[in-house]
Copies of this chain bind each other. A is one copy, B any other.
Amino acid sequence: MSKAIEPKILPGFMELLPEEQIPFNNIMNIIKKNYELFGFSPLDTPAIELSEILLAKAGGETEKQIYRFNKGDNDLCLRFDLTVPLSRFVAMNQNELTFPFKRYQIGKVYRGERPQRGRFREFYQCDIDIIGNEILDLMYDAEIPSVIYKTFNDLGIEDFTICINNRKLLKGFFESLNVQDKSVDILRTVDKIAKITEEELIQELLDFGIEKSIVMQIISFVKIKENNQNIIKKLEDLNISNENFKIGLAELNSVLNGIKNLGVPDKNFKIDLTIARGLDYYTGTIYETILTNYPEIGSICSGGRYDDLASYYTDKKLPGVGVSIGLTRLFDQLNSRNFIQKNQKTIADILVIYMSENEKDYAFNFASSLRQNNIKTEIFMENVKFKNKLNYANKININFIAIIGEDEKNTNIITIKNMYSGEQFKLSINEVIAFLNTNINALEPIILK
């Protein structure tokens, strides 16, 4: 009796049951709310772009992963990030937009990677960027971490660190050592500092043909770990006269002061001279964010400053700064560690059960009143035995049910049952609304400690 077509989805695509989709959406809503609180306006670009647009910049690994296809005469791609569509959008609408242009976009992107645990082919990115016209004040580089801070704080994540570095500083440092032609290799190696031993690190650098004394200077540079003020002091004490180094150091110092002034606590941001974030894109401040107690997850929110957003599509110079939260991966990592609160299998705050057809109208009225008061209300409408109605309430694991029988209808009250404690109350409709407003708003955290 088996059916011809087995229902399945492709590996690498996250699809959640309601009890997981609900906290997933709660997390997304908190991100969205915070992005809007900082004045980032929504943008929603198509998931499909013309290949000539999307491939202007891509290359290597990214290009291989792209979903590309023809439809009619069009050579098309699914977007693999939200930054290229932003570049295209800003270039296309540069005369309609007001700069600095602050936008957020939360959307799915596509990469046809080989599926493996923790990697997704379809995943949400939650991006904010601020784009200037010719200029963009450095203070916006400080604003980005303040958005990240408030967002993760609101998510109930306490122990996270926003790591900050500056590409000009790195560039200048390598120039001062005369190893700027090897900076790609050096940065890629330094990026592994947490995963390999110091001996391995030294050996890798020596293997690039860098002199031992220079290698040791690089090592001692990236190993500078202090509070932010002391790192700045130590960098100043290096007395490097390279112009890029000096600009980078001044920028880093200003950005750190700005972050502090914007109210981010000291414990949530720090200079990290080992982060580099690729090489062809960012030109100034760079950010990574780690969960302090789970560094193995890697960066959950990264980005930086770039000098020229849309050079492929316009001659206008559009500097910008932004970050992206990889929501699908973050959720997966938290979920696999059992940090996601999974309670109800329904979004409803309360389930209304009526004993018989006689109480239907009374129950419907009651439900309408609850909804008018923004209480999410499901009515169970199947005409089955009371026991089976309760059974449904148990299965969906709902916190509160309202039971409406002859007595309730005749005396114009409602019986409310707390399904966890078993407590039962007889309340007027207004009392129910007050009771639920108090109890459903005392939400348990989405993300557990």
Q: Hey, which bits of chain A sit against chain B, CB under 8 A?
A: 1-10, 13-18, 21-22, 24-25, 36-50, 52-53, 56, 67-72, 74, 76, 87-89, 91-93, 96-98, 100, 102-103, 108, 110, 112, 121-122, 132, 135-137, 139-140, 143, 150, 261-263, 310-315, 345-348, 351, 360-361, 364-365, 368, 371, 374-379, 381-383, 392, 395-396
Q: Which of B139, B263, B360, B395 contacts A98 (CB 8 A)?
A: B395
Q: Is the CB of A36 within 8 A of B376?
A: yes
Decide: A10 near B74, CB < 8 A? Known: A17-B96, A43-B21, A365-B263.
Answer: yes
A15-B44, A100-B381, A143-B381 are known; give 6 further A-B pairs, CB within 8 A: A15-B45, A15-B89, A21-B43, A37-B371, A46-B122, A48-B122
Q: How far is the CA of A14 from the CA of B13 in the complex (A)?
A: 25
Task: Give the copy number.
Answer: 2
Q: Is the CB of B10 within 8 A of A76?
A: yes
Q: Is the CB of A46 within 8 A of B312?
A: no
Q: Which of B4, B15, B137 contacts A382 (CB 8 A)?
A: B137
Q: Is the CB of A7 within 8 A of B92?
A: yes
Residues in chain B near residue A376, CB distance under 8 A: 36-39
Q: Is the CB of B46 within 8 A of A15?
A: yes
Q: Is the CB of A368 within 8 A of B263?
A: yes
CB-nearest residue of chain B relative to A365? B263
Residues in chain B near residue A53, CB distance under 8 A: 5, 7-8
- A sample of 6 inter-chain contacts (CB < 8 A) reads A7-B87, A9-B92, A15-B44, A21-B44, A24-B44, A150-B371
Q: How far is the CA of A318 from the CA of B404 in the complex (A)?
A: 28
Q: Is the CB of A368 within 8 A of B93?
A: no
Q: Is the CB of A7 within 8 A of B88?
A: yes
CB-nearest residue of chain B relative to A55? B5
Q: Is the CB of B45 within 8 A of A310?
A: no
CB-nearest residue of chain B relative to A70? B69
Q: Is the CB of B36 within 8 A of A16?
A: no
CB-nearest residue of chain B relative to A89? B15
Residues in chain B near residue A67, CB distance under 8 A: 48, 69, 71, 76
Residues in chain B near residue A5, CB distance under 8 A: 52-53, 56, 312-313
Residues in chain B near residue A43, CB distance under 8 A: 18, 21
Residues in chain B near residue A377, CB distance under 8 A: 37-39
Q: Is the CB of A69 within 8 A of B69?
A: yes
Closest Cβ–Cβ distance, residue A182 to chain B (whole Å)? 31
Q: Is the CB of A25 within 8 A of B4?
A: no
